[in-house]
Structure formats: structure tokens, C-alpha cells
């Protein structure tokens, strides 16, 4: 069985959903083009942005082996994220519609 951990990315305080979505698209395009094997270890994302104080959040499920890479790449890209709990493990069966969508590779 595949196991994943959750990483929650955060917008800048007051950043619009459209602007945050654009930054995330740019980030994931970078990952696909430059770190394809790592990108393919990201399984799913939530379908909606969720308010998180003055910020918006979005969650991704990724293999534990790629979390260090994602954290490094996100920091370089200026994308904030909550601390990742590597002890909270999820299966692909927990990432189901309508709340989650599988990322096509």
C-alpha cells in the first residue's frame, strides 16, 4: 500500500486566491519541468482553498521520500507551508472526490 504525508501550503497574508493559484501553478510547472521524478511522487491535492487566518491554504499528499525536496523547492520559490507531520500517514483511499483530486502525471 502506498503511504503519503500531507503538506499544507499557505498564501501570503491578504493574497487573493487568483494570485496564489497562479504562484502554485508556476511552482508545480517548475517541478514538472525540472524535478519530474519528484513531481510524480505528489499524489493528490485538495479541490478547494481553505481560509487559514489571513491566508489561504491548500493541501497536497506526497510520498514521504519527497517531502524534503518539496520543502526546499517551496522555500526557494517563496511558498510558505505549515510544518509537516511525517508521523501522520495517509493512504490513497483517503484522498477521494469531491474533496481531493488525483494529480495526473
The pTM is what? 0.95
What is the set of domains in the chain, with CATH numbers? Answer: 3-102 (3.30.70)
Question: Average per-residue pLDDT in the chain?
Answer: 96
Q: Quick check: 27 and 79 in contact, CB under 8 A?
A: yes
Q: Quick check: 43 and 62 in contact, CB under 8 A?
A: yes
Mean pLDDT, the chain cut into blocks of 10 residues (105 residues total):
93 97 98 97 97 96 97 98 96 95 92
Amino acid at each position: 500500500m502506498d503511504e503519503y504525508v500531507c503538506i499544507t501550503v499557505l498564501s501570503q497574508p491578504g493574497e487573493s486566491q487568483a494570485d496564489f493559484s497562479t504562484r502554485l501553478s508556476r511552482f508545480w510547472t517548475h517541478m514538472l519541468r525540472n524535478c519530474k521524478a519528484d513531481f510524480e511522487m505528489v499524489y493528490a491535492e485538495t479541490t478547494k482553498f481553505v481560509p487559514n487566518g489571513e491566508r489561504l491554504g491548500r493541501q497536497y499528499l506526497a510520498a514521504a521520500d519527497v517531502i524534503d525536496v518539496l520543502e526546499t523547492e517551496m522555500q526557494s520559490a517563496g511558498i510558505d507551508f505549515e510544518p509537516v507531520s511525517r508521523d501522520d500517514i495517509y493512504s490513497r483511499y483517503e484522498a477521494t472526490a469531491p474533496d481531493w483530486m488525483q494529480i495526473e502525471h
